[in-house]
């Protein structure tokens, strides 16, 4: 299965600033996803990162708040923009298909 390197692993950010999270995969993958895991809760899909086109966002998530890049088949970034304390979560990237999904180790974001 694919190996994912996600960074940063954690960060503490000031309210109103933005943070970009990177996800690097060791092989070319078609499907890449970004999830949010709020404290004590399950995973919520933010969007599917599409190579060569705009990301596909789930209900409740918008591009202005969570812009995503996918310049090639091994890399993607998620930016959390204009952060507020409510954005404090673990953000995870994932790759996979029907057979299995592999997750990055996550970025633990705290907004103060």
Site for other proteins in 2-31 (CB under 8 A): 6, 31
Please give the Cα distance from 108 to 88 (Å, whole number): 8
Instruction: Give the three-state DSSP class for 85.
Output: helix
Please give the Cα distance from 70 to 95 (Å, whole number): 13
Which lies closer to other proteins via its Cβ, residue 5 or residue 20? Answer: 5
Q: Does 1 bind other proteins (CB under 8 A)?
A: yes
CB of 100 to other proteins, least distance (A): 6
Question: Which range binds other proteins by CB under 8 A, 12-20, 43-51, 65-73, 76-84?
Answer: 43-51
**Residue of the chain from 48, 51, 77, 81 that contacts other proteins (CB under 8 A):** 48
Number of other CB atoms surrounding residue 97 within 10 Å: 9
Tokens, residue 71: 């310049």
Please give the Cα distance from 30 to 52 (Å, whole number): 11
CB of 96 to other proteins, least distance (A): 7
């Amino acid at each position: 299965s694919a190996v994912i390197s996600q960074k940063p692993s954690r960060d503490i950010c000031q309210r109103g600033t933005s943070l970009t999270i990177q996800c690097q995969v060791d092989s070319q993958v078609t499907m890449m996803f970004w999830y949010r895991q709020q404290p004590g809760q399950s995973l919520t899909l933010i969007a599917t990162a599409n190579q060569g086109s705009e990301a596909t966002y789930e209900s409740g998530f918008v591009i202005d708040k969570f812009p995503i890049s996918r310049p090639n088949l091994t890399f993607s970034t998620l930016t959390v923009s204009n952060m507020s304390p409510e954005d404090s979560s673990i953000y995870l990237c994932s790759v996979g298909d029907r057979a299995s999904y592999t997750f990055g180790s996550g970025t633990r974001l705290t907004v103060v």
